[in-house]
Amino acid sequence: MLKRITSLLLAAGLILCLAACGSSPESTDTVDDPIGDIASTLSPATSTPKATEEPEETPEPTDEVEPTPSPTPVQTPSPTPSVATPTPEPTPVSTPEQTPVESAPAESPEASGAPDEGAESDSTPSPEPETEGVDLQAFYDTISATYEFSSMMDMDTEMMDAYYPGLSAVSKAQFVGKIAMITASANEIVLIECSDSADVDTVRAILESRRQSQIDGGAWYPESIAMWEGAQICVSGNFLMLVSHGSAADIAASFNALFAE
């Protein structure tokens, strides 16, 4: 009984479905039909809502532009042409004739005593007078080649202080001192040029003292003492010579001849 009721319900539901399908109208639209206004098919609910707020008004740009002030041009003044001012001619003034006065002759520098511009001033020290050009070493070389001076040696400071005390302290421009290496020889010669004429007398006294001490026994031998007795001392200006030799007189004459002219 139950199965029969179920089958009847099923049959009834099937009939209802078929009835529903048969009552729906067939669609006349085809694929080729044009699409209509989509906006009209939309429901009002899907339409775009209008904006409730009004947009702010954008200020329209003004066409007026503020003018930029242009720099004021500086006007350079044009040079004013110079106008030559005529120089008035001097009015000749008559001057009285003057009697010419004779000018006094110009005094020469010698008469006026004024120093000449080209001449050196008196404050300039005058050059020292030149020596007489006598070379004492050259003189000794000459006489030693003429007269025999054997076994001679140079006189050093120690010997000078021993035989001629005080002579080393004198300022000398030239000096030649030769003494015999052996006591048996009495040959000796001293040539001096004093730097200061004030020392000439001092040097003369020293040379005299040497000759006298040798005569008084310093020469040891009679022959040597006799030679010292004939020793010559010559003085000419600042030049002095002491020579002990067998030809001392001839050597003294040659020395004095150097200053004869």
- How many whole angstroms separate alpha carbon 179 and alpha carbon 198? 26
Burial 112-137 (b: 16+ CB within 10 A, else e): eeeeeeeeeeeeeeeeeeeeeebebe
Strands (E), 106-203: 152-154, 172-180, 188-194
Q: Which of 17-26, 135-144, 155-164, 182-191 has the lowest mean pLDDT?
A: 17-26
pTM, two decimal places: 0.51
Instruction: Read off the pLDDT of residues 196-217 as tens digits, 9 standing for 90 and up.
Output: 999 999 999 999 999 999 999 9
Domain boundaries, the chain: 150-192+203-231
**pLDDT for 141 beyond 80:** yes
The residues, any chain, with a CB within 8 Å of residue 136's CB and separated by 6 or more, are 174, 175, 176, 191, 192, 193, 239
Cα radius of gyration rounded to whole Å, the chain: 76
54 has pLDDT over 80: no
- CA 258, distance to chain mean position in Å, is 53
Cα–Cα distance measured from residue 74 to residue 216, given in angstroms and rounded to the nearest whole number: 120
